[in-house]
Structure 1
Amino acid sequence: MRKVLVTLLALSALLSPVAGTATAAQPGVVRYDGRGVQVWRHGGDLAKLDETTAGFRRFVAHRLDVLWRQAGARPRCAHSTLVQVKVYDARRYARIGNTGNFAHAGDPASCSGGGYTSIAARWNGRWREVIAGQEAFQCADLRHFAVPVTVADRYCYDESGELVVYRPAG
């Protein structure tokens, strides 16, 4: 039994998508497999977002700098700031799987301060975070910003606090 389980785990690891590879879910939507594209502040990782617009990449770079400054702008922690992109929709949305300051190779654990997940949207020509949190989002917030199913997490909290499958308005 144990041998079968180990074999199944090994097969699933071999067959699972490589972190950071992009797949086209539908025209204009890029879904980054696995953990998504991890963009570290000084990692030169913005190039991994080559299927996004220059404006979105500027937004990610700006978020990295803001987070680093909010964490004290300590030079020894310059590499601990992360934005992890899960889904990019050219129409104007992105799901950020993780944003924050985390221990990273060569950085002390004292640099980590935790993180959050968010939905970014392009409003009036500029990208900004419109919803953020550490749990599933409120369905009403997702509907308010007209976040498409392709970008939103599958589940959200309804008005009564129940975790339900997200269904956009209309």
Structure 2
Amino acid sequence: MRALPRTGLSVCAAGLVLALGGCGASSSPSAGPPPAPAPTASSAAPAPASTPTPTPAPTPTSTPAPTPTLAPTPTGAPAPTGAPAPTGATTPTPTPTEATTPSPSASSAARLIPYAGGESVGVEIDDPADVSELRGAPESFKRFVARTVEQLQAEEKCPGAAVGVTVQTLRTDGFAIGGVNACGGYEALWAQVDGTWKEVYGTQDSLDCAVLRRYRVPSDVAGDTCYDYKGKKEHSYHQA
């Protein structure tokens, strides 16, 4: 057998020592970090990034159509009360004027009473009680004549003279003509003015046309002629 050189033995011994030392170092805690674990299938390759799922567009919400309001059922048209006043202008609603009913003394119901005629000069009243002779005359006229006679007698200045009133013609709608006697005399025209009897004219001559027209004295009381004292002329006169 061939003997190995010494140098070779030394190398083998040294290698053996190193080999044994490496085995012991694997169980020593100070031998160094443990070997990295083998990668698992899940960590060996990264999972592919997931594709994001697109968010669906919001479905438009439909606005419900408004429910039509039903018109109220008419219960009948109101009765017309007249044309409405125009808008924008304040117009007082005209109040209807009541028709004026003619009074019994209106011309349509007037009655002419002639007390004079023939041999009679009219009804002569020299005492207030004599007004009862004025047949058909309104009571208001009788009272007026009675007061006139009383006043004439109270103011009498001619002793022995006839004092009183003579009524010749009367129309019941408020006109009369006659004479007044007291220290002389004159023709008097009486009329009912604003509901009151009064003497509206007295003269010893012709009746004045202006007075007759002013009071609308009917011709059947005043006659059919009058005198214009301004124009100095007589005129025919007619008034219903």
TM-score by length of 2: 0.48
- Please tell me whether the aligned partners of residues 39 and 83 of structure 1 are also in contact (alpha carbons under 8 angstroms): yes
1:161 offset after TM fit, Å?
1.8
Give the CA RMSD over aligned residues.
2.3
1:99 matched residue in structure 2: 180
Match for residue 236 of structure 2 among 143, 158, 165: 165
Identity of aligned residues (%): 27
Distance 2:127 2:170 in 1: 19
Match for residue 53 of structure 1 among 134, 138, 142: 138
2:207 matched residue in structure 1: 137
1:71 matched residue in structure 2: 156
Map residues 1-170 of structure 1 onto 2, 5 A cutoff. 28-32=111-115, 33=117, 34-41=120-127, 44-72=129-157, 80-96=162-178, 98-101=179-182, 113-158=183-228, 159-168=230-239
Which amino acid in the other structure matches residue 221 of structure 2?
V
Give the paired residue count. Answer: 128
TM-score by length of 1: 0.67
- Please tell me whether the aligned partners of residues 30 and 89 of structure 1 are also in contact (alpha carbons under 8 angstroms): yes
In the TM superposition, structure 1's runs of 4+ consecutive aligned residues that sit over 6 Å from their partners are none
| Partner deviation per Cα, 1:75-99 (whole Å, 9 max, x = no partner) | x75x832211111111111111x10
1:54 offset after TM fit, Å?
1.1
1:3 matched residue in structure 2: none
- Please tell me whether the aligned partners of residues 136 and 153 of structure 1 are also in contact (alpha carbons under 8 angstroms): no
1:129 offset after TM fit, Å?
0.4
Unaligned runs of 5+ in 2: 1-108
Distance 2:190 2:110 in 1: 19
SS of equivalent residue, structure 2 residue 216: coil
- Please tell me whether the aligned partners of residues 153 and 164 of structure 2 are also in contact (alpha carbons under 8 angstroms): no
1:128 offset after TM fit, Å?
0.4
Q: Which has the larger radius of gyration?
A: 2
Q: Which has the higher contact order (CA 8 A, sep 6+)?
A: 1
Higher strand share: 1
SS of equivalent residue, structure 2 residue 142: helix
